[in-house]
């Protein structure tokens, strides 16, 4: 009986599937989609981090821009550099990482170009009272046709449909007269 209760308590504390050992749910980013791109808001007792990933359609081979605003809840302004890195979600080890110094504003911005479609893990790290890292997963889609090609084919299809419709309405000439009788099949009934 004691062993069953112990196993129940231990199993109830296991992390959910897909969570790496040591990841804290309090350091996870939750992305929200909006017309400008993906956004996130994260905070703890010491700092608040807000940011965006643009453009709104993330495609492999196209550059994406990651911007983060890091603010202290109480205390001094944060001046330290911020490390922003992305890597495919299933991989460990080397990541495309950039240490971004603070600019004239409180925004840290960098660009990455994901090579392949799939899920990518974003990690943002900084140091204030101690080193902190927050993580989130976002999806990069397969690169398709350029948008202008889609618009060109769609516009062309509309123009063709409009032209055919106008030709059907106004282009046909219908007459009430029967066809001339002298131009027939050559049956020999032609007048002399």
Confidence bin at 158 (pLDDT 50/70/90): very high
* The pLDDT value given to residue 17: 47
* Nearest Cα residue to 57 out of 75, 34, 40: 34
Confidence bin at 110 (pLDDT 50/70/90): confident
- pLDDT of 57-94, one tens digit each? 888 888 999 998 888 887 677 778 888 888 888 877 66
Q: How many CB atoms lie within 10 A of CB 86?
A: 22
Higher per-residue pLDDT: 170 or 22: 170
Q: Are 19 and 38 in contact (CB under 8 A)?
A: no
The residues pairing with 91 across neighbouring beta strands, listed in sequence order, are: none
Q: Are 89 and 123 in contact (CB under 8 A)?
A: no
The answer as to whether 156 is a domain residue is no
The answer as to whether 99 is a domain residue is yes
The answer as to whether 30 is a domain residue is yes
Of 5-9, 166-170, 187-191, minimum mean pLDDT range: 187-191
Backbone angles phi, psi at 69, to 5 degrees: -115, 120
* The pLDDT value given to residue 156: 92
The answer as to whether 46 is a domain residue is yes
Domain holding 93, by residue range, is: 21-140
pLDDT for residue 170 is more than 90? no
The answer as to whether 158 is a domain residue is no
The answer as to whether 125 is a domain residue is yes
Rounded to an integer, the average pLDDT of 160-186 is 74
Q: Are 135 and 23 in contact (CB under 8 A)?
A: yes
Q: Are 107 and 101 in contact (CB under 8 A)?
A: no
How many folded domains does the chain comprise? 1
Q: Are 49 and 84 in contact (CB under 8 A)?
A: no
Query: Taking the model in full, what pTM does it have?
Result: 0.61
The answer as to whether 189 is a domain residue is no
- Report the CATH number that the domain containing residue 41 is assigned in CATH: 2.60.40.10
């Amino acid at each position: 009986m004691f062993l069953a209760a112990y196993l129940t308590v231990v199993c109830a504390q296991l992390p959910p599937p897909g969570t790496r050992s040591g990841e804290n749910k309090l350091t996870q980013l939750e992305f929200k989609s909006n017309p400008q791109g993906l956004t996130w808001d994260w905070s703890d007792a010491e700092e608040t981090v807000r940011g965006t990933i643009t453009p709104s359609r993330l495609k492999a081979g196209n550059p994406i821009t990651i911007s983060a605003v890091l603010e202290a809840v109480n205390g001094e302004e944060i001046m330290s550099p911020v490390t922003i890195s992305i890597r495919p979600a299933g991989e460990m080890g080397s990541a495309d990482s950039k240490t971004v110094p603070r600019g004239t504003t409180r925004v840290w911005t960098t660009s990455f170009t994901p090579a392949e479609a799939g899920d990518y893990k974003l990690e943002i790290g900084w140091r204030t009272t101690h080193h902190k890292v927050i993580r989130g997963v976002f999806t990069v889609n397969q690169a398709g046709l350029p948008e202008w090609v889609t618009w060109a084919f769609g516009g062309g299809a509309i123009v063709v449909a409009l032209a055919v419709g106008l030709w059907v309405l106004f282009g046909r000439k219908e007459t009430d007269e029967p066809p001339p009788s002298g131009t027939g099949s050559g049956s020999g009934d032609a007048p002399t």
